[in-house]
Amino acid sequence: MHIKSKVWSNAFFLVPLLFSLYFGLYVYSILLFLAIIFSTVYHLSNEKKFEFIDQVFAYVIIAYNLYLCYLSDFKQPYFTFAVLFVAIGVYFLYIKKKDDYEWHLSCAMISLCCILAYVM
């Protein structure tokens, strides 16, 4: 059985999830956990009702990442790395358009950089 990259690539988000748990960012941990669950369910089922929830969690995580950067006073070099991964992710999502695992990897790295900016 072939598992779509849109499904297995959600595993990349386990790294920022574990970091957020380790550093006591429990609200963020819950958001990441729910995003992983709903994204996996959506991409396995392709049900449109789950697409909306998947997108809501994506935007909430983006907002929380920005909030962490703000709280960290955009600490360097982590903020710069986060912006770099945004550019890489946009390239893969809108220009290359080959597969989703690059996009998920970029998003997970953005989250990790924002967590590190906040806790360091």
The dihedral through the CA atoms of 54, 12, 107, 68 has a sign that is positive
Tens digits of residue pLDDT in 26-77: 999 999 999 999 999 988 887 888 889 999 999 999 999 999 999 999 999 9
Confidence of residue 115 (pLDDT cuts 50, 70, 90): very high
So what's the pLDDT on residue 99? Answer: 66
Predicted pLDDT of residue 68: 98
Give the pLDDT confidence score for residue 6 in this predicted structure.
80
Output the pTM of the full model.
0.91
Count of helix runs (H) and strand runs (E) in the chain = 6, 0
2 — pLDDT class (breaks 50, 70, 90): low
State the Cα–Cα distance between residues 62 and 67, nearest whole angstrom: 9
